[in-house]
Amino acid sequence: MSSRRVAAVDCGTNSIRLLIADVDPNGQGGGLRDVHREMRIVRLGQGVDATGEFAPEALARTHSALAGYAELMRRHEVDAVRMVATSAARDVSNREQFFAMTTEVLGGVVPGAVAEVITGAEEAELSFRGAVGELDSAAAPFVVVDLGGGSTEVVVGSEDVVAAHSADIGCVRLTERCLRSDPPTDGEIADARAVVREALAQVLTAVPVDQARTWVGVAGTMTTLAALAHKMTVYDSDAIHLSRVAFDGLLPVCADLLAMTRKQRAVLGPMHEGRVDVIGGGALIVQELAAMLGERAGIAELVVSEHDILDGIALSIA
């Protein structure tokens, strides 16, 4: 099969991302070659944990971003598109508004293209495929963690997935539920930590993390923490990709972010403005993940990948 140009869209709780790539199934590492990659913060999951539905302004922000992506797809003449929606779109009561909007926008690029809601297990498998493609198999088994806005996927595998679990915690959901003050109070942090530990206890019953040798973190919280741990003054995706952060460098960054005000976080060079208010919740989740993986698997560092579910989606089209 010859290569073709595809577009992958990942619509999560906090951000919507686009990858336009040429895919050659016979090429090295699955043959994925980037043409264009972009991320926009739309906060689709705004208030969903409390109301159970998408806010009109969140749908409007998502529509604007997706329309811009559709124009890029047309400009780059993609042959196929796949858009997946994850945690925020699974249970909302007004999801039909979201799907009507995405069908209209995507159909203007590729007739019949629609967004699809994937399960937590599907999300984990796509993240795993995208994250480990460039890693040395000698470092397997891998535990890949995709920390999103509404959920966190934990998957263990080598070449194939052995087990996966989607935990109902994410940086947006945890912040809205527990970390409401600026900065969070000790009581709020204690409550949030209890929520995360309960969720991770369920992970342990479903996923054999003790078998893992390498922890791979993907998505914006992980990459931002890595940038800060590496003391970058600006976000540099090339330098971040496949970099390693020892726990003794990672955990102080997490603690500092959790204690900071939003104003203090906003002036940090690698910090995207759309993560300022929720990065503390993500940092707390990472703290608890590090404790779990250190205790259960003897892991002492985090490998951060810029390739994740978006790359898995693109590869799945081939």
Q: Which residues of 32-57 are buried (b: 16+ CB within 10 A; e: fewer)?
A: beeeebebbbbbbbbebbeeebbbee
Percent of the chain residues past pLDDT 70, beyond the cut: 97
Q: Render pLDDT for 56-109 as a digit per residue (tens, 0 to 9).
A: 999 999 999 999 999 999 999 999 999 998 766 777 889 899 999 999 999 999
Q: What is the pLDDT of residue 268?
A: 96
Fold of 4-117: Nucleotidyltransferase; domain 5 (3.30.420)
- The sheet carrying 4-11 orders its strands as 32-41, 15-23, 4-11, 80-85, 115-117
Residue 18 pLDDT level (bands cut at 50, 70, 90) = very high
Residues 6+ apart with CB under 8 A from 274: 14, 15, 41, 43
Q: What is the pLDDT of residue 95?
A: 87
Position 50 pLDDT exceeds 70? yes
Q: What is residue 209's DSSP assignment?
A: G
* 4-117 shares its CATH topology with 135-309: yes
**Thinking of the domain 135-309, which architecture would CATH place it in?**
2-Layer Sandwich (3.30)
Q: What is the pLDDT of residue 291?
A: 97
Is residue 138 a contact partner of residue 145, using CB atoms and an 8 Å limit? no
For the chain, which residues make up each domain, given as ranges? 4-117, 135-309
Position 316 pLDDT exceeds 70? yes
Q: Render pLDDT for 20-29 as a digit per residue (tens, 0 to 9).
A: 999 876 655 4
